[in-house]
Chains A and B, each alone.
Chain A
Amino acid sequence: MGKSLYQKVWEAHSVKTLSDGRTQLLIGTHLIHEVTSPQAFGMMRELGLKVRFPQRTFATVDHIVPTQNQQQPLEDRLADEMLNELRKNADEFGITYFDLASGKQGVVHVVGPEQGITQPGTTIACGDSHTATHGAFGAIAFGIGTTQVRDVLATQTIAMGGLKVRRINVNGKLSPGVYAKDVALHIVKVLGAKGGIGFAYEYGGNIFDEFTMEERMTVCNMSIEGGARCGYVNPDQKTFDYLEGRNYSPKGADWDIAVERWKSFASDADTVYDDIVNIDAADIAPTVTWGISPDQGIAVSDTIPDPEQAATPEDKASIIEALEYMKLPAGQPIKGTAIDVAFIGSCTNGRISDFREVAKYIKGKKVAANVKAIAVPGSQVVDVMAKQEGLDKIFTEAGFEWRAAGCSMCLAMNPDKLIGDQICASSSNRNFKGRQGSPIGRTVLMSPVMVAAAAIEGGIADARETFNF
């Protein structure tokens, strides 16, 4: 019987069985940022511990970074303190830190891949649930808590129980205007926000074979929205082509050795999965969320769910709660719902391909007068590339503000926030109550091109109509 990539990576990284029955798992690569690491360093100091393998941890600053004025001291003194703390910790413990002045700073899940730090056949941990993004490279990558950040710093390992593996095949043909983000939202909708608990998701089928690395990252990123702690795509030639020549990728003779090693981790053809889900690509529409959980999504052409039509009393209660919060009318089309803010960015959709794709359609168009639209590159590298290609100009001429790299309005720990009950068309990953900085702010998740269409129309729109697909 064959083994899945998950099983192979798990076995290769198992150090021992702990007294509680869990596995002591080696973490190949550890990524840290300013929000979930300072307390871990505090615990290290308290226990008098050293970072065991400082060369296997990489740091950057993303969550609290302002996307406008980055001059230190930052206006927000708490944010400034967090920034200084990370710099101090990286310095003191000898950790590579991609600071604001490095030209490499950005959202940790954008930085890892583009620097070639993210590699196949390894375990990657970060105190951030969207670490699943790195699974696009055939790594087992997952979010951890701060106490576990301490464990990785001190021992390069964590205590963890094994997961089952669910293979999700998406086969067929995606219609024009249907993007990787729609595939992600569709999977979360079909399997539910808790459907993946206890599972690692292995994504496959011709759609994933054909996807670019950045598209794979978008889907793996949202594994956690479906409850799966990690999600991955088996490494293939696209993976190796993406990594070749990047800063931290192996070079010369090491490269060939690495590629052979990476290939060996791909799931065997005769792998027996714990579960298999087949999805027809033709069933996936441009998708938008209408509620307060990422699985509350519908095709943009659909009507907002009616609690009276709910299948169970629990569903009815959750629809009522969601619509009350979202202030959306049951049974009405979602298309045409006015928006206040449009946000393109985040670890889900803040990569160069996202901005290139949007730029194709917004050239010569204008953001509606009542909409505040911001474009936030996922990293300084993305920012520079976009500027070299003139994408920033296309965005600003269309009425978007082009900002500096960071997490920005995905979770609004920086000055980019919704105000009051503003409603935001967002390319980010979570539509939880209060997620975008205002306790009563509202989020509608969608692909970057759909965000652009909403920005231009002033309301939720079908990008295929707005842009004449």
Chain B
Amino acid sequence: MIEPIKQVVGTGVPIPGADIDTDRIIPARFMKCVTFDGLGEYAFYDVRYDNDGKITDHILNDADYRDADILVAGINFGCGSSREHAPQALVKYGFKAIIAESFAEIFFGNSTTLGLPCVIGSKEDVDALKAALQADATLEVKVDVESLTVSYADVSFAVTMPASAVEALTSGNYDPINELLAAEQEVTATLNAQAYLA
């Protein structure tokens, strides 16, 4: 049994831009590895460092936001490659939840399986949260996975996440391996029913 994830409370960082793809989250050249260890330092590498290796003025380099727990982004976050290296890098960087206007599907599944809740808010709510975080890096944000609300200061807004992900996270069943293994007989029966000839 893994620890259930019912809420995440912490500081946040607003990431500008839409369609942030997984190449941006973890450039392919850092995927030359046989474990996920150490990927955290390469998260968003090419936005945090310029082509000469110098630190950029991206918000992730702002010391006030370095220890943020919650990433706040726009639409279609995590699009592109299916690389689990992307959510692995974000988790190892220190993120515990993501709030965005929408998520790419494979990224969403990879993230929640790692216990990284990804909740969807309206553009209006997400923009307001981003502005509030921009104004105050110490702002405490609460992502409540059970009630599907995000709250900060005196603001609270509703977010969405597929019911299956809510159930998996809040019950501590987000890594499905044991349940999948338990169905061994049913799996064999389903496979035999396919009559695969190859």
Contact surface of A with B, Cβ cutoff 8 Å: 12-16, 18-22, 24, 26, 28, 35-36, 38-39, 42, 47, 49, 52-53, 56, 63-64, 76, 78-79, 81-82, 85, 116-117, 119, 122, 127-129, 131, 142-148, 150-151, 154-161, 193-194, 197-198, 224, 227, 229, 248-250, 254, 257-258, 261, 293, 314, 317-318, 321, 411-413, 420, 430, 432-435, 437-440
Contacts and interface: CB of A to CB of B under 8 A. Distances in A.
Contacts of B55: none
Contacts of A413: 28-29, 31-32
Interface in B4-29: 17-19, 21, 23-24, 27-29
Given A18-B180, A224-B106, A413-B28, 4 more contacts: A24-B187, A52-B184, A229-B105, A318-B18
B110 interface: yes
Q: List the 8 closest A-B pairs by CB distance, nearest first.
A: A143-B82, A145-B110, A145-B84, A38-B34, A250-B197, A78-B32, A194-B76, A146-B84
Contacts of B187: 15, 24, 26, 52, 155-157
B176 A159 contact: yes
Contacts of A129: 80-82, 106
B149 to A, nearest CB: 20
Interface stretch (B58-66, B132-140, B150-158, B160-168): B160-168
Which of B35, B51, B177, B181 is packed against the most chain A CB atoms within 10 Å? B177
Given A20-B165, A154-B180, A439 B51 contact: yes
A214 B162 CA distance: 36
B117 interface: no
Interface in B75-95: 75-76, 79-85, 87
A215 to B, nearest CB: 23
A265 to B, nearest CB: 11
A257 B21 CA distance: 43
Interface in B82-141: 82-85, 87, 102-106, 109-110, 113-114
Contacts of A197: 76, 102-105
B175 interface: yes
A449 B17 CA distance: 33
A430 B191 CA distance: 35
A335 to B, nearest CB: 26
A435 B105 CA distance: 20
Contact of A147 (B51, B76, B114, B164): B114
A420 B51 contact: yes
Given A15-B186, A412-B28, A161 B113 contact: no
Contacts of A85: 34
Nearest to B196: A28
20 contacts: A15-B183, A15-B187, A20-B165, A24-B186, A26-B187, A127-B82, A146-B110, A155-B177, A155-B187, A157-B183, A157-B187, A197-B102, A224-B80, A229-B106, A413-B28, A413-B31, A430-B81, A432-B80, A434-B23, A440-B51
B76 A193 contact: yes
A254 B154 CA distance: 68
A321 B20 CA distance: 12
Contact of A151 (B19, B85, B104, B176): B176
Contacts of B184: 52, 155
B179 A433 contact: no
B23 A432 contact: yes
Contacts of A143: 81-82, 106
Contacts of B84: 36, 39, 127, 145-147
B32 A13 contact: no
Contacts of A318: 17-19
A122 B106 contact: no
Contacts of B36: 39, 146
Given A15-B187, A129-B82, A250 B19 contact: no
A26 B194 contact: yes
Contact of A161 (B87, B162, B173): B162
A144 B106 CA distance: 7
A293 B20 CA distance: 9
B104 A147 contact: no
A386 to B, nearest CB: 26
B186 A19 contact: no
Contacts of B21: 293, 430, 432-433
B198 interface: yes
A19 B195 contact: no
A22 B193 CA distance: 21
Given A42-B34, A82-B34, A227 B105 contact: yes
Contacts of A151: 176-177, 180
Contact of B191 (A18, A26, A160): A26
A147 B175 contact: yes
Which of B82, B110, B165, B195 is packed against the most chain A CB atoms within 10 Å? B82
B32 A79 contact: yes
